[in-house]
Structure 1
């Protein structure tokens, strides 16, 4: 399988992350991508560099104001007196109608939904490269490849059209899905990350041409908390075209794979001609975020089920944090996918 990768990801190295009010080093570290790359190489997969696309792919799912914010905020923030190295919001707008602010602190609060997405001096460069990796993998599939894997970092599925959150800035999964619409009337997105793909859901929530499905730890007690519940099924034209399959915390292979069967049944009913998989590996039993307890065999089995759909597929890397099993779980998934194709 072709693995699309850019080493520009390493330019984003967030230092700040808050857990129950305590500041610590972010779990979303450059070493994540390095381990995944090494594992893919070791398994014999072909590594392909991301092609330059600029902001065009991101512009198909993100607002102009948001892209401008990501491009400029670190530079402008650094000019403020006594400013932190990383852009961190200290105020957020209320849920009632609000006016877009001019002040940098206000813009940060408008566009950064939480404290898990600090923006450093080169965050934009890394996020843009991740979006280009997703676009490059998508183009391979548009040109006839059966599958391609975009090793994106930073991840993207928590990013809305105009908000960063949960380690995510540009929504690589949504970018891939929208790009596939160039040739495909119906696109399905299946998110198997331990966290709900709330940004992807938000981007397509009112549409019936992109089916979004997410299997994740129950947000009643897990990030992103406010989104990812079973009653969120889409609105307007999109009603019925979003499916959330939350699982109790600590669920293992059996319930996870059973949720996969429900997801695949809905995908078959939708009858898409192409698929995007938001490949989070943080559902692993050894992941430090400890939401679910999926084994390497579970990843292998889920991949085989997905491959049995027989659809051209873009795999987009989402979560999956530092553990001894991280690279092995990727190899298990890719192996299961290729086996399911045969």
Structure 2
């Protein structure tokens, strides 16, 4: 297995996030990047650093105005002497508000639906590097290398074409899938992060050439709340190419693996040329998110079932947060995916 990463991914490292009326520890710390890199190094996998030279690939998914905003927002923010050290919005439009403002606070709210995406000095460099890791991973897969693990961080599957949300800024999996379509035609995405891939679903909602399957906690119980229900199956030409399986709180290995098998069966029927796995470990029993009860053995079995599709596969890292078990979850998945002894 080939692993792609870039050291700039560790530059975004805010230590707190504002939720539930208080500042709490930010789950997406840069240490996650180092944990993942340590594991792939220990496994003696081939590791490559992504070049940062494919900026146009981002525009295949994201609005250019939004990308330019992400690049410039921190420098604009620090020009205000009364603003704090971290860029966090305090206003947001609703469905009754349709005009994008140009004033900084209004524009920040327009491009963000929550306080979950704090921006610091080098956030853009980290976000851009993460997307470039996905792009380079897709290119290496297209060149005949595979499977490929794009060690993306920050994650991306919640990001919409013009919206940051859920600690996601650019949608790495969607960018990679668009890239892979150039070589493989139809592409499938299976998302096993504990949260629904609302951004990815939105990007491909009407696209008949991308099948999106997501296994996640019931959105009536947890974020993203507003998408991820079983009756969301796509629209227009993409009708039927979206497959959501929301599961209850505290789901364990057996029902989770059954849902993965159902997604694998649907993907097999779709017959994609390539597969993107949005690889989240926050379903883990020891993950601080504390939602599902998936064990290392569960992740290993998921890897075996997904690998059984036997199509060129790009693994794109999503969630999975700091705990003593995090590295073990990654090791279990990667070794099983390759059919290696753990």
TM-score, normalising length: structure 2: 0.97
- 1-side partners of 2:162 and 2:284: how far apart? 30
What is the match of residue 70 of structure 1?
70
Contact residue 54 and residue 128 of structure 1 kept, 8 A? no
Deviations 1:203-256 (A, max 9, x none): 111111111111011111111111111111111111111111111011010011
Displacement of 1:97 in angstroms is 5.0
Which residue number corresponds to residue 52 of structure 1? 52
Equivalent residue, structure 2, for 1:61:
61
The 8 Å contact of residues 19 and 115 in structure 2, kept in 1 or not, is answered as no
Match of 1:2? 2
Q: Which residue of 2 aligns with 1:95?
A: 95
Match of residue 285 from structure 1:
285
1 CA distance for matches of 2:39 and 2:214? 26
Say if 1:279 and 1:316, in contact at 8 Å, map to a contact too.
yes
Does the alignment pair 1:123 with 2:136? no
Deviations 1:110-144 (A, max 9, x none): 11111111111111100000011111111111001
2:253 corresponding residue in structure 1: 253
Identify the residue that residue 83 of structure 1 maps to in structure 2: 83
What are the superposed Cα offsets for residues 179-207 of structure 1, whole Å, 9 maximum, x if unpaired? 00111221000000011111101111111
CA contact (8 A) 2:61 2:161 kept: yes
* Counterpart for residue 16 of structure 1: 16
Q: Is the 8 A contact 1:152 1:172 kept in 2?
A: yes
Q: CA deviation at 1:316?
A: 0.3
**Residue 237 (structure 1) aligned with residue 237 (structure 2):** yes
Aligned to 1:150: 150
- Most deviating of 152-161 and 228-237: 228-237
Q: Is the 8 A contact 1:218 1:247 kept in 2?
A: yes
Matched residue, 2:169: 169
Question: How far off is 1:53 after superposition?
Answer: 2.2
Q: CA deviation at 1:21?
A: 1.4
Asked whether the 8 Å contact 1:250–1:293 carries over to 2, the reply is: yes
SS at match of 1:285: coil
Residues 3 and 149, structure 1, Cα contact 8 Å, conserved in 2:
yes
SS in 1 for 2:229: coil
Question: What is the CA–CA distance in structure 2 between the aligned matches of 1:93 and 1:312, rounded to whole Å?
Answer: 41
Aligned to 2:199: 199
3-state secondary structure, aligned to 2:114: coil
Is contact 2:54–2:135 with CA below 8 Å preserved after alignment? no
Deviating runs (4+, > 4 A) in structure 1?
none
After superposition, the CA RMSD in angstroms is 1.1
Identify the residue that residue 327 of structure 1 maps to in structure 2. Answer: 327
Structure 1: distance between partners of 2:73 and 2:55? 16
Paired residues, what number?
A: 340
Cα offset, 1:96, TM superposition: 2.8
SS of 1:167's equivalent? coil
Q: TM-score, normalised by structure 1?
A: 0.97
Alignment of 1:297-336 (within 5 A): 297-336=297-336
Counterpart-to-counterpart distance in 1, 2:61 and 2:150: 18
2-side partners of 1:127 and 1:16: how far apart?
18
The 3-state SS of whatever aligns with 2:311 is: coil
Output the CA distance in 1 between the equivalents of 2:276 and 2:67.
23
